[in-house]
Amino acid sequence: MASRQDQFETHQQAGPKGERLTTNHGVTIADNQNELKAFNRGPVLLEDMIFREKLNHFDHERIPERIVHARGTGVHGYFELTDSLAEHTTARILTEVGERTEVFARFSTVAGGAGSVDTPRDVRGFAVKFYTKDGNWDIVGNNVPVFFIQDAIKFPDLVHSVKMEADRGFPQATAAHDTFWDFNSLMPEATHMLMWAMSDRTVPRSFRTMEGFGVHSFRLVNAAGKSVFVKYHWKPKLGLQSTVWDETVKIAGADNDYQRRDMYDSIKRGDFPEWELGVQLFDEETAAGFPFDHLDATKLIPEELVPVRIIGRMVLDRYPDNFFAETEQVAFCPSHILPGMDFSNDPLLQGRLFSYLDTQLKRLGSTNFHQLPPNRAKGREGGCPFRNFQRDGHMQMEVPKGRANYEPNSLSEAGEDGGPREDPETGFSSFREPAGEGVKSRLRPASFADHYSQARMFWRSMHEVEQSHIVSAFVFELSKCELDHIPQRMLANLRNVDESLAKRVAEGMNVDLPAASTPVAAPQDLDPSPALRIIGNMKETLEGRVVGLLIGEGSDVGTIGAVTAAIEAAGAHPYVVAQKIGGATLSNGEKRKADGQLAGTPSVLFDAVALILAADAAKELCGHAAAVQFVSDAFGHLKAIGHDEGARALIEKAGIEPDEGITAFGESFIAAAAKRFFDREAKVRAMP
Ligand code: HDE
DSSP state letters, 307-323: PPEEEEEEEEEE--S-I
pLDDT for res 381 = 80
Q: How far apart are CA 86 and CA 219, in angstroms?
A: 14
Task: Using pLDDT thresholds of 50, 70 and 90, give the confidence band for residue 2.
Answer: very low
Ligand 1 centroid to Cα of residue 68, in Å, is 7
Q: What is the pLDDT of residues 511-553, one digit of tens each?
A: 999 999 999 999 999 999 999 999 989 999 999 999 999 999 9
Ligand 1 centroid to Cα of residue 544, in Å, is 29
Ligand 1 centroid to Cα of residue 112, in Å, is 14
Q: What is the DSSP string of 443-462?
A: PPPGGG---SHHHHHHHHHS
State the average pLDDT over residues 656-662: 94
State the average pLDDT over residues 583-612: 98
Please name the residue whose Cα sits nearest to atom 25 of ligand 1: 69
Nearest residue to 570 via CA among 656, 438, 667: 667
Task: Using pLDDT thresholds of 50, 70 and 90, give the confidence band for residue 7.
Answer: low
Q: What is the pLDDT of residues 45-93, one digit of tens each?
A: 999 999 999 999 999 999 999 999 999 999 999 999 999 999 999 999 9
pLDDT for res 1 = 42
Please name the residue whose Cα sits nearest to atom 24 of ligand 1: 141
Instruction: Please report, for residues 395, 546, 567, the alpha-carbon distance to residue 607 in angstroms, rounded to integers and kept in the order given.
Output: 47, 6, 12
Is the predicted pLDDT of residue 608 greater than 90, yes or no?
Answer: yes
When the pLDDT of each residue in the chain is averaged and rounded to a whole number, the result is 95
State the average pLDDT over residues 116-142: 98
For a substitution probing ligand 1, which of 356, 372, 375 has the most ligand atoms within 8 Å of its CB? Answer: 356
- The one catalytic residue among 69, 88, 336, 573: 69
**E strand or H helix at 196, and its extent?**
helix 191-197
Whether residue 142 lies in the annotated active site? yes
Is the predicted pLDDT of residue 5 greater than 60, yes or no?
Answer: no
What residues have CB less than 8 Å from 262, skipping those under 6 apart?
Answer: 206, 207, 208
- The one catalytic residue among 88, 136, 142, 294: 142
The alpha-helical segments, DSSP class H, found in 365-463 are 453-461
Is the predicted pLDDT of residue 8 greater than 80, yes or no?
Answer: no
Q: What is the DSSP string of 271-307?
A: ---EEEEEEEEE-HHHHHTSSS-TTSTT----TTTSP
pLDDT for res 12 = 57
Count CA within 13 A, CB hemisphere, residue 651. Answer: 24
For a substitution probing ligand 1, which of 63, 67, 68, 109 has the most ligand atoms within 8 Å of its CB? Answer: 68
Ligand 1 centroid to Cα of residue 374, in Å, is 18
Q: Output 398 or 3, whichever has higher pLDDT.
A: 398
Is the predicted pLDDT of residue 496 greater than 90, yes or no?
Answer: yes
Please name the residue whose Cα sits nearest to atom 23 of ligand 1: 352
pLDDT for res 448 = 98
Instruction: Please report, for residues 574, 579, 581, 620, the alpha-carbon distance to residue 595 in angstroms, rounded to integers and kept in the order given.
Output: 9, 11, 7, 21
> Which residue type occupies 319?
Y
Instruction: Please report, for residues 118, 123, 147, the alpha-carbon distance to residue 272 in angstroms, rounded to integers and kept in the order given.
Output: 20, 23, 29
Ligand 1 atom, smallest distance to 330 CA:
17
pLDDT for res 436 = 75
> Which residue type occupies 237?
K
Angle between helices 464-479 and 499-509 (to 10 degrees): 50
Q: Ligand 1: residues within 6 Å at CB?
A: 66-69, 72, 106, 108, 125, 127, 140-142, 147, 152, 155, 215, 297, 332, 348, 351-352, 355-356, 359
Ligand 1 centroid to Cα of residue 344, in Å, is 17
